[in-house]
Copies of this chain bind each other. A is one copy, B any other.
Amino acid sequence: MRDNKSGSLKRKAVVLLSGGLDSATTLYAAKKNGFCCFCLSFDYGQRHRRELRAARAVAKAARCQQRVLKIQFPWKGSALLDAFSSLPHPGKDKTDIPVTYVPARNIIFLSFALSYAETIGAEAIFIGAHAQDYSGYPDCRPEFYASFKNVVQTGTKAGVKGRRILIRTPLLRKTKSEIVRLGSALKVPFALTWSCYRGGSKPCGNCDSCYYRAKGFKEAGIKDPLIHLHV
């Protein structure tokens, strides 16, 4: 039986689930915290739509409901939305915001999660932003999440009525290797996740996202079962 059906007395949470290593670990962390999780994924024209298949598989493995919302960014504005743009070279020093930054993407994702959470009476929204990301992406930084909390309090019925919807970022201060260790302890099905920014049938191994995933597993001293699958 599904977690969502069996756990009607549990506290509810909406979990933003992209299908990557981070969001999958976040989902398992939310479950570990006793939440009945409702996963929310976005089909937003990302070049790595392959991650949506991963998101479905992870939600299923975690026995959670999942919704996939189709949204548009017709104005593009990111290498992640444009199959003809170059992706950044892996491991280069990040002195600027990466070209894979999608303007206001996490703000949009959180806003939909908030609408969902408010409607179903969820107490929390989980998002897998973390230290590695917030060195580059503005909408992954702690200051942003602090600001968004005020939006929840002032701009929703729940907030005005004094019902709290917390924005939970359990990975925010963790490195990639710490996330891998946490995910491993939580028995996250890493083989089902997908990180590669390219839309191929197997991880390219040389985009930014593949690079940091490999580095995280290496530093954690754990083998990545996804790579093992594709070797």
Chain A positions within 8 Å of B, measured between CB atoms, are 67, 69-77, 97, 101-108, 110-112, 114-116, 118-120, 138-139, 141, 143-144, 146-148, 150-151, 153-157, 159-161
B-chain residues with CB within 8 Å of residue A143 when the two chains form the complex:
154
Q: How far is the CA of A64 from the CA of B220 in the complex (A)?
A: 54
Partner of A119, one of B76, B139, B155: B76
Please state if B115 and A103 are interface contacts (CB–CB under 8 Å).
yes
- Nearest CB on B from A19, distance (A): 19
Contact at B115–A157, with CB atoms within 8 Å? no
14 contacts between A and B (CB under 8 A): A67-B74, A76-B119, A101-B157, A103-B156, A103-B157, A104-B155, A108-B108, A138-B155, A138-B157, A143-B154, A147-B147, A147-B155, A148-B155, A150-B150
- Of the residues B120, B139, B157, contact of A75 by C-beta under 8 Å: B120
With the chains together, A107 CA to B74 CA distance in Å?
A: 19
List 20 other contacts, CB 8 Å, given A67-B74, A138-B160, A147-B154. Answer: A67-B75, A69-B72, A71-B71, A75-B116, A75-B119, A75-B120, A97-B157, A102-B115, A103-B115, A103-B118, A104-B111, A106-B155, A107-B111, A107-B155, A108-B112, A138-B157, A141-B154, A144-B155, A147-B150, A150-B150
